């Protein structure tokens, strides 16, 4: 299988090793770590630390998409994310920026300010103009699966076969994006978005099935409910569980980890790569 790549900032990001997308949410109501109204100096310090710790992409989101969250108008979302993008472009101009939005208007403005990737939890299904914006601006698209909306997605999510159903839906979304002229993509099965905890574990177990699709596979599992509810803890206490789930995701073929903790994710990837090298080259080792 040829190496998967992504064109960002005019350069190819090669997935010769798993990559890291670090999250910076400009929100007051995310399930973990929102940074609304943070002073620019502190924001720049935190994002700089993410990059120093190994982040390849910084993902900027202006509204929470946690279960039960309300939708924010595009205008308010823009008021939150554009200053952050502007600061990143000032202090870290070569950094690939992902805009986490399902509003086409937000994606358009964010790209004009310097974002180089659109990360849409709906895979282009919430806003009919989204695929046109992505195609016209010639930026990569992160196409995620969701059942329902953030307001309703955890109201008894049901599948005939969770892996096959999501695979088929993502395949349809890919075809629609291709027809719109989008060929540079990331695929995200959407752990936690319209899935029970059991669904999420089934997706993780069968993540390699999604490698049949011709694009890098991203996993966004960091500190999510499948971890902290299973362990009976809070999201703030879920770093160790997140690391364990990240290693499983890597073993199942994840190309990209969307994370809140870049340093720990990088260390997990480093250990995975060392393990992979030793097992690929070492045979029985006896």
- CATH code for the domain of 81: 3.20.20.20
pLDDT at 191 over 70: yes
Cα–Cα distance for residue pair 265/53, rounded to 1 Å:
9
Q: Is residue 10 part of a domain?
A: no
**Global pTM?**
0.93
Q: Is residue 176 part of a domain?
A: yes
Q: Is residue 270 part of a domain?
A: yes
Q: What is the pLDDT of residue 35?
A: 77
Q: Is residue 1 part of a domain?
A: no
Q: What is the pLDDT of residue 31?
A: 65
Q: Is residue 11 part of a domain?
A: no
Using the Cα atoms of residue 78, residue 84, residue 89 and residue 94 in order, give the sign of their dihedral.
Answer: negative
Strands ordered across the beta sheet of 97-100 = 185-188, 141-144, 117-120, 97-100, 57-61, 19-25, 256-259, 218-219
Q: Is residue 8 part of a domain?
A: no
Given the residues 66, 80, 223, 224, select the one marked as catalytic: 224
DSSP structure class, residue 16: S
- Please indicate whether residue 258 is annotated as part of the active site: yes
Q: What number is the average pLDDT over the span 242-252?
A: 98
- Strand (E) or helix (H) holding 79: helix 74-91
**Which residue matches tokens 């409910």?**
225
Given the residues 19, 80, 258, 266, select the one marked as catalytic: 258
Q: Is residue 285 part of a domain?
A: no
Q: Is residue 173 part of a domain?
A: yes
- Which residue segment(s) compose the domain that 20 sits in? 16-278
CB 4 within 8 A of CB 255: yes
pLDDT digit string, tens, across residues 112-157: 999 999 999 999 999 999 999 999 999 999 999 998 767 665 777 7
Q: How many domains does the chain have?
A: 1
Using the Cα atoms of residue 46, residue 47, residue 52 and residue 58 in order, give the sign of their dihedral.
Answer: positive
Share of the chain above pLDDT 70, in %: 92
pLDDT digit string, tens, across residues 28-45: 766 667 777 789 999 999
């Amino acid at each position: 299988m040829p190496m998967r790549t992504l064109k960002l900032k005019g350069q190819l990001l090669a997935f010769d090793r798993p990559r890291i997308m670090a999250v910076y949410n400009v929100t007051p109501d995310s399930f973990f770590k929102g940074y609304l109204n943070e002073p620019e100096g502190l924001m720049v310090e935190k994002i700089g630390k993410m990059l120093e710790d190994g982040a390849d992409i910084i993902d900027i989101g202006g509204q929470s998409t946690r279960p039960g969250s309300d939708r924010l108008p595009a205008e308010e979302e823009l008021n939150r994310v554009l200053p952050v993008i502007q600061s990143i472009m000032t202090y870290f101009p070569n950094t690939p920026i992902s805009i986490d939005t399902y509003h086409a208007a937000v994606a358009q403005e964010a790209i004009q300010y310097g974002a180089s990737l659109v990360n849409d939890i709906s895979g282009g299904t919430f806003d009919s103009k989204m695929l046109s914006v992505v195609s016209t601006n010639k930026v990569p698209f992160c196409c995620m699966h969701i059942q329902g909306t953030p307001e309703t997605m955890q109201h008894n999510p049901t599948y005939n076969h969770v892996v096959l159903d999501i695979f088929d839906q993502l395949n349809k979304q890919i075809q629609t994006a291709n027809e719109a002229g989008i060929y540079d993509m990331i695929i995200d099965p959407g752990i936690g978005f319209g899935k029970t905890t059991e669904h999420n574990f089934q997706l993780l177990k069968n993540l390699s099935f999604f490698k049949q699709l011709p694009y890098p596979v991203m996993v966004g599992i960091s500190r999510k409910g499948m971890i902290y509810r299973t362990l009976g803890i809070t999201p703030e206490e879920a770093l160790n569980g997140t690391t364990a789930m990240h290693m499983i995701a890597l073993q199942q073929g994840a190309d990209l980890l969307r994370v809140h903790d870049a340093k720990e994710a990088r260390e997990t990837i480093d250990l995975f790569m060392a393990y992979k090298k030793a097992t690929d080259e070492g045979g029985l080792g006896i």
